[in-house]
């Protein structure tokens, strides 16, 4: 099963050029059972990345392009009167897929954004006091344009905390952009040529194997020390939550799993720490005035936090 993770990365690289680390982080989040927030300017391949994962991993895929007029019922579903039986019949919403792409989530109203909270946290939705389980595995990949872009609103803190990681695509290098153009000569579309590497059953097995990775007590102490350092950092008004500590542990397990180990070491924690913490940080006014980036603070926390001894 671990070999399949390498095959998945290599297959997606046929479409997404030069973004190996982002691909690995998203795959690790899926193995950890987490959700992904992709934040960047339009046109850098966020939607293409999500489609590539759906095709390569054999996932049932659904997408909603969020706008201010998208309703919560469009996401969770609604009850409709059946004229034949004269009873209320539940109509599934757009979220009932293995992989749900919430495109430009920060253009939706706050009510619609909050409709995803239960689905992301508990893998179910509740409509008219009835609970409906979502298919397994269930992954949300949400994209958003940078804060302040036309027509956008800030996602609420409770929503941000539900995402295991936040990643940014960024512009490709010159060589990678040339490669992207070359791959699309004569009307070719690399996305349509992707082959499924695994099945849903394979993914569930990989998720189970990832969850069983052994975490030493000293690594747990290190994770908690990082959380404590973030909560007491002079440039942060808010650091990592207990949910963040759980997400960091799960992501570290996934990193170790993809590195072909059965146990987690501090280097696994360091590798995923910025992606897990940065979107949960709240900068102080002083830090915002100095234009300090959350990534810089995350690196400084790693550098200044001692790893507990055996």
The bridge status of strand 87-92 relative to strand 77-82 is antiparallel
Compute the distance between CA of residue 118 and CA of residue 251 in angstroms, rounded to an integer. Answer: 21
Tokens 């391949």, located at residue: 45
CA–CA dist 175, 106 (Å, integer): 32
pLDDT digits (tens), the chain, 310 positions: 778 999 999 999 988 988 999 999 999 999 999 999 998 877 788 888 989 999 999 999 899 888 888 888 899 988 888 788 878 888 888 999 999 999 888 888 888 888 888 888 888 998 888 889 999 999 999 988 765 555 566 777 888 888 999 998 888 889 988 988 888 888 788 888 889 999 999 999 999 999 999 999 999 999 999 999 999 999 999 999 999 999 999 999 999 999 999 999 999 999 999 999 999 999 999 988 988 999 999 999 999 999 988 7
Residue 152: per-residue pLDDT: 62
Q: Give the DSSP H or E segment for 222.
A: helix 217-231
The tokens for 51 are: 């489609």
Q: Which residues pair with 36 in a beta bridge?
A: 141, 165
């Amino acid at each position: 099963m671990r070999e399949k993770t390498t095959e998945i990365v290599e297959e997606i690289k046929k479409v997404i050029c030069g973004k190996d680390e982002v691909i690995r982080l998203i795959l690790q989040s899926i193995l950890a059972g987490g959700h992904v927030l992709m934040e960047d300017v339009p046109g850098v391949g966020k939607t293409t990345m999500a489609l590539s994962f759906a095709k390569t991993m054999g996932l049932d895929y659904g997408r909603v392009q969020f706008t201010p007029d998208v309703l919560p019922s469009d996401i969770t579903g609604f009850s409709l009167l059946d004229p034949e039986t004269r009873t209320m019949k539940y109509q599934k919403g757009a979220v009932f897929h293995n992989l749900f792409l919430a495109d430009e989530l920060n253009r939706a109203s706050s009510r619609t954004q909050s409709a995803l909270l239960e689905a992301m946290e508990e893998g179910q939705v509740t409509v008219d006091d009835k609970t409906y389980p979502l298919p397994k595995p269930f992954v949300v990949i949400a994209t958003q344009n940078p804060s302040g872009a036309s027509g956008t609103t800030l996602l609420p803190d409770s929503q941000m905390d539900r995402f295991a990681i936040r990643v940014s695509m960024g512009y490709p290098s010159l060589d990678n952009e040339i490669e992207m153009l070359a791959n699309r000569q004569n009307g070719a579309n690399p996305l349509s040529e992707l082959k499924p590497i695994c099945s849903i059953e394979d993914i569930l097995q990989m998720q189970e194997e990832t969850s069983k990775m052994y975490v030493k007590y000293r690594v747990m102490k290190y994770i908690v020390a990082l959380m404590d350092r973030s909560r007491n950092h002079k440039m942060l008004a808010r650091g990592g939550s207990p949910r963040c500590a759980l997400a960091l542990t799960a992501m570290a397990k996934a990193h170790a799993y993809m590195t072909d180990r059965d146990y987690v070491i501090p280097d696994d924690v360091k590798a995923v720490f910025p992606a897990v913490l940065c979107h949960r940080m709240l900068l102080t006014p002083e830090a915002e005035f100095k234009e300090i980036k959350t990534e810089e603070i995350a690196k400084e926390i790693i550098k200044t936090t001692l790893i507990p001894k055996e």
